[in-house]
Amino acid sequence: MGSLSSLKGKLVLLKGTLEKLVEIIFAIIVGFVIAGLMMYMGGFDPIKAYAAMFETSLSLTDPYYIAMTLSFATPVMLTALTFAIGVRAGLFNIGAEGQMYMGALGAVIVASWTLPGPLYLPLAFIVGSLLAAAWGLIAGLLKVLRGVNEVVSTIMLNWIAFWIVEYARVYVYPNPIDASKTISMPPPGRLPLLIRGTELSVSFIIAIITVFIVYYLLWHMVLGYEIRATGLNPTAARYGGINPKKTMLWAFIIGGIAAGLAGVSEITGRPPSYAITTGLSNLFGYGFDGIAVSLIGANHPLGIIPAAIFIGALSAGSRGMQTTAGVPLEMVKAVQGIIVWALAMPGLIRLIRRRMIRRRGVEL
């Protein structure tokens, strides 16, 4: 009997995965068709554009483009974790952007120190992720102590972080040779490249490991269980002896660390500048892209990996679309936007629906 019920459980699981797969395929088709129609109306050849996009992102004949795809997937994979952990704890934490800036700032602070070579990397990761976690904790404390909505506080904190880091770039850590960026991470503090002549560095492996750690934490550790329980129903979780405030704070801290790692890995692992550039132009947007990645990946750490690679492929493929198919970047961005929308939409609707149901439940 036991074996039968476990078989039944497996079947249910299989059916769930299948449904999810059908949904994703359907969304991809819808996204590509609509974006293709838009390109066609704009006077471009959508087939040629899509072919060029895949050629310069996922083409198996040229490892350079695959490396580029993975390098663009790295930061969004980490910032997606921030959002995913938040969702699991019942939070709408969109502060990955600002937390990532703080992580990058931490790495630059370490770069400004005179240290023995091997110390740069570990210290950059420690200082960066601590700074980012502290930044996430501000929103967490506001939520837990004063009941401030985390959507509002994280959006505002993102901009505060932007200007703090921009201030530090101009006045505290400017590059003496080139005022458009901060001091660069010295060579011993840079992550080695996985393939020479590409942008893909060890930071990709760090991101993958982080994803698995978060997965293990969420599904195989007590804290993760508490986070998920709080997210599903905080009242029931409290009844079950869980302190939802404490777990929410942990969700903010862990999310902050993940976003901080994204910032640090951009500074230590992205050639050629290894610094924060003017207007934070080498960081801007990864935090928000992470939200889309998380939604596409069903807010599940293991779903985030393919989702991030998909977004990375879109970023990498924008080159081919411009050079081979002659589609201007504005149109490329619109196409990417539509595809990401189509993919993230089901997850977003589900998330909102669940929130509404819960709110109604609370009112009752």
Partner 1 sequence: MRKLYKAISTSALAAIFIVLIIVVGIAAYYAGTMAGAPTTITQTVTQTVTSTVTVTTTVAASPTPTTTPSPTTTPSPSPTTTPSPSPTPTYKPPRKKIAVVYDIGGRGDLSFNDMAYLGGSRAAKDFGLELVEVQSKTEADYLPNLRSLARTGEYLVIVAVGFLMTDAVKQVADEYPDQLFAIIDGYIPDKPNVLSVLFKEHEGSALVGALAGMVAHYFNCSAVGVVLGMEIPVLYKFEAGYYWGIRYGEEIYKEYTGKEIKPLNVLWTYTGAFNDPARGKTATEAQLAQGACIVYNVAGATGLGIFEAVEEAGKAQGRDMGPPFAIGVDSDQDWIKPGFIIASMMKRVDVGVYTAVQRALDYYAGKLDKYGGVLELGLKEGGVGISKLEDLETFLAIAEQAGRKVNKTEIIEKVKKMRESIPAWIWEEVDKLAEKLKTTPDVAVWGLKFSDIEKMIPLDANEIKQIREKLGVPAG
Name the site residues for partner 1 (rule: CB under 8 A).
Answer: 15-16, 19-20, 22-23, 26-27, 30-31, 34, 37-38, 41-44, 56, 64-65, 68, 72, 166, 170, 174, 176-180, 197, 199, 266, 270-273, 277-279, 281-282, 284-285, 315-316, 318-320, 322-323, 326, 328-331, 333-334, 338, 341-342, 345-346, 349-350
Q: Closest Cα to residue 149, out of 295, 363, 357, 355?
A: 355
End-to-end CA distance of the chain: 40
* Long-range Cβ pairs for the range 151-155 (8 Å, 24+): 151/92, 151/94, 153/95, 154/93, 154/94, 154/95, 154/98, 155/94, 155/95
**Nearest residue (CB) to partner 1, 123 versus 321:** 321
CB of 238 to partner 1, least distance (A): 30
CB of 43 to partner 1, least distance (A): 6
CB of 234 to partner 1, least distance (A): 26
Q: Which amino acid is at 173?
A: Y
CB of 343 to partner 1, least distance (A): 9
**Nearest residue (CB) to partner 1, 230 versus 315:** 315
CB of 19 to partner 1, least distance (A): 5
**Nearest residue (CB) to partner 1, 117 versus 328:** 328
CB of 81 to partner 1, least distance (A): 20
**Nearest residue (CB) to partner 1, 206 versus 338:** 338
Q: What 3-state class would DSSP assign to 174?
A: strand
- Residues in Cβ contact with 255 at an 8 Å cutoff, skipping those fewer than 6 apart: 81, 82, 83, 85, 86, 93, 95, 96, 99, 136
Q: Closest Cα to residue 236, out of 85, 42, 69, 90?
A: 90
Peptide bond into 174 cis (omega under 30): no
**Nearest residue (CB) to partner 1, 158 versus 247:** 158
> Phi and psi of 317, rounded to 5°?
-70, -15
**Nearest residue (CB) to partner 1, 154 versus 322:** 322
CB of 264 to partner 1, least distance (A): 15
**Nearest residue (CB) to partner 1, 136 versus 320:** 320
Plot region of 148 (φ>0 → left; ψ -120 to 50 → alpha; else → beta): beta
- Residues in Cβ contact with 210 at an 8 Å cutoff, skipping those fewer than 6 apart: 78, 81, 258, 261
CB of 339 to partner 1, least distance (A): 10
**Nearest residue (CB) to partner 1, 147 versus 272:** 272
